[in-house]
C-alpha cells in the first residue's frame, strides 16, 4: 500500500507543479481545444475523485458520481493547492492493510467489489489521464512553459520508452 500512496503523491506533484506556474486567468480560461472547459475544471475533477475516495472509503462504498463539483476548486488555484495538501494528509493517513470496498455508479445499480488499493490505483490512472489533457491546455495557453517530459505520461509508457531506447 505504501508504494501506491507514494505513486499517488507523485502524480499529484504534477498538479502542484502547474498550480504555481499559472495565474487565475489561465486557470479559468475556457479553451476551445477543451470544448469550452478549463484547466481548472480538469483540476477540480482530479481532486474531487480523491476527495470521494478519502471521505467514502470508511463507509465501505465508493461512488465517484457523488462528488461535490466545488466550483472554488476550478476557479481558484490557491483553493486547489490547499485541497492538494488536504489530500496528501488523507493519503498518508490511509490504512496500510487492504480494505475491501464496493463501487457504485449512477448508471449501474449493482455494487462492484473493489478494494482500497484498487481505487488508489484508479485515481492515479485518472490523474495521469487528466494531466495529459492539462498538458495540452498548458501548451496552448503558455507555449513558452517548459513542461516536464513525464507530465501526463503513464509510467508504463515511460518504462516502455526507456527500454525501447535502451535496446
- pLDDT for the residue 66: 93
pLDDT at 149 over 90: yes
Determine the average pLDDT of the residues in 19-48: 96
Strands in 100-105's sheet, in edge-to-edge order, are 61-62, 100-105, 108-115
pLDDT at 167 over 60: no
- pLDDT for the residue 110: 85
Report the topology of domain 2-162.
1.20.120
DSSP H/E element including 23: none
* Angle, CA 101 vertex, CA 114 and CA 80 arms, to 5°: 95
Amino acid at each position: 500500500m505504501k508504494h501506491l500512496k507514494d505513486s499517488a503523491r507523485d502524480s499529484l506533484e504534477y498538479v502542484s507543479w502547474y498550480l504555481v506556474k499559472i495565474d487565475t486567468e489561465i486557470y479559468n480560461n475556457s479553451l476551445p481545444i477543451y470544448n469550452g472547459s478549463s484547466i481548472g475544471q480538469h483540476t477540480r475533477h482530479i481532486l474531487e475523485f480523491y476527495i470521494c475516495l478519502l471521505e467514502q472509503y470508511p463507509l465501505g462504498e465508493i461512488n465517484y458520481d457523488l462528488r461535490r463539483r466545488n466550483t472554488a476548486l476550478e476557479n481558484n488555484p490557491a483553493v486547489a493547492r490547499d485541497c492538494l495538501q488536504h489530500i496528501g494528509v488523507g493519503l498518508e493517513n490511509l490504512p496500510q492493510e487492504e480494505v475491501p470496498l464496493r463501487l457504485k455508479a449512477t448508471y449501474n445499480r449493482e455494487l462492484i467489489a473493489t478494494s482500497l488499493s484498487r481505487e488508489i490505483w484508479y485515481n492515479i490512472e485518472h490523474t495521469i489521464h487528466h494531466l495529459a489533457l492539462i498538458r495540452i491546455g498548458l501548451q496552448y495557453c503558455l507555449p513558452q512553459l517548459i513542461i516536464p517530459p513525464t507530465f501526463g505520461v503513464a509510467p508504463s509508457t515511460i518504462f516502455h520508452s526507456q527500454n525501447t531506447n535502451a535496446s
